[in-house]
Structure 1
Amino acid sequence: MRNREVIKSIILIILVLISICMTYLVWTFTPELTDLETDVNTKTPSIGPKISKQMDSVVMPFRMINRNGTDVKGTSNVQDIKKITDRLLGKEIKKIDILSSESVVELEDLSERYTMLDFPDSVPSEMYFNQVLGLSMVQYPKINFDRILIDTKSTNDVIVYMLSDDKKQAIKLQTSIKSHEFDKINKEVSQHFTPYTGIITNENTTNEINQIYAPKDADNINIYRYVSNQISVADLNEVILGDSVIARNNENDKISTYNNNTGIANVNEEKQTYRYTNLSDDENRNKDISKSISNTFKFINEHAGFTDEFRLFKTDKKTGKIDYRMFLNNYPVFNDDNLSLIEAVWGRDTINEYNRGLITTGVAVPSKKEAYELPTSEEVRYNLASNQDINFNDVTNIAVGYDLSLPNEEKDSLQDTIEFKPNWYIKYNGEWKRYENGGLV
């Protein structure tokens, strides 16, 4: 009996000590905040709040399609796409195969049911594996891809294919992801998918895995207006030119020029654009797209240059130029003066060119205009194919986007507002153009 009381006393003391320890841990707990400031140097000048962007939110697909036989549905919703791409992060790769063909590569083992992730332009596979997905490999396969296919029907483990931009090569990855786990996530996000259609424009797109995919209907997309904010030119000059800045204006005062010992920046006050060229590094632009994406992303991220939602949108292997485009409500934003674009060229060890708009979105304001009704993708396809001035073989992508404009009708515009109007955009001869009245502008 006495031993029982001693045991009770010991247990009580232990419980009291555990309670004291847990209380101490709760009150002294400090949350880990390093992810919020990744790649942000507090000593670096900035043009906005220093909120770091993760690379997988900038280098990412802009549409997702589920294909099951003839049933094709998809979405551009970034949250749904991220739930799918997050399943690929840091996974073990069991086997890698490189498939190639002199014409169009055939994926003989691909099932009739798969998920497709489309990128707006080609992405270097080694950079995407390493820096975006965080995959550890002894040697990273090197192709430039613009489409990922995810097959969960062929085997118990997910098979991933990465198709090259010329459709002559593919990387086949056998992953450690269980097919049933991926299907569960896919089923959840696909509940609100809408019908999509495959479009054939040339002999390379006759195969369903290479077709151009677009939503069948693109109606009820609203026109949006925002109060515009302007990036401080002084802050941008501090980032780009440093302290030794010489300023001068031209005769009409619409273009201001700033320079230091090595570079020059032109600011167009009317068009609200900033264009910088590093004169000392002009011949040393980096043609390695993987390094250019990594370095330009880090450079822009460090000075909070992704002032709105921006995504990698175009890579130019000939010039080394990297384009990051603004997105609004899951759709790319276009503007004739490139207000929605950040263009960057990396040199030997610093920025060579840096061009961008000075406008950012602020508070949304009510619009008097109703939702803009767009033609169907089939109407767009038919009109383009029937247009004698267009070589339909050179159409390589079709997407809904927004046209960014500064309202110029005084009776219908608010001071310092910008307007986003939906429209169809066509990638033609490597350039994105606005579809208008059966043609391209």
Structure 2
Amino acid sequence: MSKMGENILKVGVICMVLLSLFLSWKIWTKPANRSFQDRTAKVKAVVQKKDMTEVYMPTKLFYHHGNGDHFLYSNKESTMTSLHEKIVSLEFGTTRTMTTGQVESLTMQRDLFNLVYPSAIPASLFINMNNLSITLPRDSKNLMFNWLIMSLDDGKLYFVNYKNKLGVEVEVKGNISSITSILDAENNNYVNALLPTDNVAGIYYLADSAKLKTYSYIIATQSFTTFSRGFFNQPNDLFSNEGENLSLSNSEGESLTIDSQTGEVNYFGKLKQSHSGNENSLYYDTFQYVEDMGTSLGNLRYFSDTSNEVVYRNYVEGFPVFGDNMKGCLATTVQNKNVFIKANQDTLQIPLPSDDSVTLVPTQELVDHLKDQGADMSKIIDIQIGYKWEQNKETQQAIDLVPSWYIKYDNNWMTQEELEKTLAKGGQT
């Protein structure tokens, strides 16, 4: 080899070494969180955002048709969605505040249906998010309602808070017959229900036993990037702290931790967007995180709220899911323009065939049994059917959703069995 060739080879080797050193330096000095940024960007591209009207939806339908005291009950989602779409397409007229007597008599009328929300929401929120031309009476502008009743007889819509015996009547015009055809469809899977005058917690009672299927699901564990992308204001340039549990933070003061044992996710940061000037700011402030998570956490629906927190839950076959360590749930708390979010990495993914079922007693029988067990009826805030998230006994990759009566007792949600154990210990929750 000539002298010139050897020099060229040496220069080439030196250049290769220098390039290698430069690339190594870039790798070692580049923050480890850069991989968070790249993966976050890829995830973000496929997220399908939810609309507010998809999340703040009724979860029960009661239809009072014909004679007798029985109502027809269904929790079929497609039926309620169709009824909701018909209602918001109507033409609205004058409104007036209802008296206590009018609210009580309304529920006994024939030819009406009631779309029930899991918890009360502002009537103004319903009107705004559906872009309706309804002006609430001055003395009912802050009405919280959970029953949306429509009379097929006199063509009126009612926002009702049955527990507080408050309501607003709205005159409507439109194609009422098309609504009746939805209600009378054969595939609505109605069961009988009652509204006793001495009912507990202002709820409808199931008149008969209910046989419900147990569902099994393969679960998916969501990547931390799903949560960093959905929650962080600044999802780029995140720093991780070594330890048993994953911990992410950035220079803006945002932080996220994921428990390695339970999968529980906890986030703290500043609100992405503050709606402080809006009368329903809590709902808009919290919903933006549900919106940004898209379908990552399953079929999330509005479930309940307090003065500064809104809870969203997974719904399966029309019933809410309850699990330990925030499984099937997302809770968002807003305080001084800061936000605290709790969720879980594990989400329902693929349903598995199951022939198992559970038979739940009628509501009146449940209430009588709890009374016999020593329950304080004044502490029962709500009763509804829910699915309990349980680990599948055959595989760690699957869970079972077991139907159960859930009772909100002394402000805590418990299954019938859990409440009975609590009562046996003296009623301390």
Shared fold, TM over 0.5: yes
Residue aligning to 1:77:
76
Give the 3-state SS of the residue equivalent to 2:50 in structure 1.
Answer: coil
* Counterparts of 1:236 and 1:45, CA distance in 2: 13
Residue aligning to 2:285:
295
Residue aligning to 1:212:
203
* Deviation by residue 1:92-130 (Cα, 9 ceiling, x = unmatched): 2111001245x9954569733321121111111111112
The equivalent position to 2:356 in structure 1, one of 354, 360, 370, is 370
What do you get for the CA RMSD once the two structures are aligned?
3.2
Residue aligning to 1:143:
143
* Deviation by residue 1:185-236 (Cα, 9 ceiling, x = unmatched): 221267531111335666xx6xxxx841133345432222111111101332
1:109–1:192: structure 2 CA closer, same or farther, 3 Å change rule?
A: closer
Percent identical pairs in the alignment equals 15
* Counterparts of 2:107 and 2:366, CA distance in 1: 33
Residue aligning to 1:186:
183
Q: CA deviation at 1:385?
A: 1.9
* Counterparts of 2:70 and 2:163, CA distance in 1: 26
Residue aligning to 2:166:
169
Residue aligning to 1:396:
381
Give the 3-state SS of the residue equivalent to 1:127 in structure 2.
Answer: helix
* Residue identity in the other structure for 2:172: T
* Counterparts of 1:45 and 1:394, CA distance in 2: 48
Q: CA deviation at 1:440?
A: 6.6
Residue aligning to 2:26:
none
The equivalent position to 2:122 in structure 1, one of 104, 113, 124, is 124
1:435–1:56: structure 2 CA closer, same or farther, 3 Å change rule?
A: same
* Deviation by residue 1:284-312 (Cα, 9 ceiling, x = unmatched): 99697722212322332134255311110
* Counterparts of 1:189 and 1:116, CA distance in 2: 18
* Residue identity in the other structure for 1:401: G
* Counterparts of 2:152 and 2:239, CA distance in 1: 60
1:414–1:48: structure 2 CA closer, same or farther, 3 Å change rule?
A: farther
Give the 3-state SS of the residue equivalent to 2:53 in structure 1.
Answer: helix
Decide which structure has greater helix share.
2
Query: Which consecutive unaligned segments of at least 5 residues does structure 1 have?
Result: 1-42
Q: CA deviation at 1:70?
A: 0.8
The equivalent position to 1:354 in structure 2, one of 322, 334, 341, is 341
Is contact 1:399–1:425 with CA below 8 Å preserved after alignment?
A: yes
1:187–1:108: structure 2 CA closer, same or farther, 3 Å change rule?
A: closer
The equivalent position to 1:343 in structure 2, one of 318, 326, 331, is 331
* Residue identity in the other structure for 2:263: Q
Residue aligning to 1:321:
309
Is contact 2:326–2:343 with CA below 8 Å preserved after alignment?
A: yes
* Counterparts of 2:106 and 2:191, CA distance in 1: 28
Residue aligning to 1:263:
254
Give the 3-state SS of the residue equivalent to 1:270 in structure 2.
Answer: coil
1:387–1:121: structure 2 CA closer, same or farther, 3 Å change rule?
A: same
Moved more, 50-59 or 263-272: 50-59
* Counterparts of 2:247 and 2:208, CA distance in 1: 46
Residue aligning to 2:25:
none
Give the structure-1-normalised TM-score: 0.75
* Counterparts of 2:107 and 2:217, CA distance in 1: 49
Give the 3-state SS of the residue equivalent to 1:413 in structure 2.
Answer: coil
Residue aligning to 2:60:
63
Residue aligning to 1:417:
398
Is contact 2:95–2:136 with CA below 8 Å preserved after alignment?
A: no
* Residue identity in the other structure for 1:99: M
* Counterparts of 1:343 and 1:354, CA distance in 2: 6
The equivalent position to 1:380 in structure 2, one of 360, 366, 375, is 366
Q: CA deviation at 1:432?
A: 2.5
* Residue identity in the other structure for 1:88: I
* Counterparts of 2:131 and 2:314, CA distance in 1: 25
* Counterparts of 1:440 and 1:129, CA distance in 2: 43
* Counterparts of 1:180 and 1:57, CA distance in 2: 25
Moved more, 265-274 or 172-181: 172-181
* Residue identity in the other structure for 2:359: E
Is contact 2:258–2:266 with CA below 8 Å preserved after alignment?
A: yes
* Counterparts of 1:243 and 1:91, CA distance in 2: 46
Q: CA deviation at 1:175?
A: 0.9
* Counterparts of 2:179 and 2:146, CA distance in 1: 21
1:415–1:439: structure 2 CA closer, same or farther, 3 Å change rule?
A: closer
1:189–1:119: structure 2 CA closer, same or farther, 3 Å change rule?
A: farther
1:406 matches 2:391: yes
* Residue identity in the other structure for 1:51: Q
1:138–1:61: structure 2 CA closer, same or farther, 3 Å change rule?
A: closer
Is contact 1:164–1:170 with CA below 8 Å preserved after alignment?
A: yes
How many residues of Structure 1 are paired with residues of Structure 2 in the alignment?
374
Is contact 1:308–1:326 with CA below 8 Å preserved after alignment?
A: yes
1:333 matches 2:329: no
Query: Which consecutive unaligned segments of at least 5 residues does structure 2 have?
Result: 1-39, 423-429
Give the 3-state SS of the residue equivalent to 2:212 in structure 1.
Answer: coil
* Counterparts of 1:160 and 1:301, CA distance in 2: 29
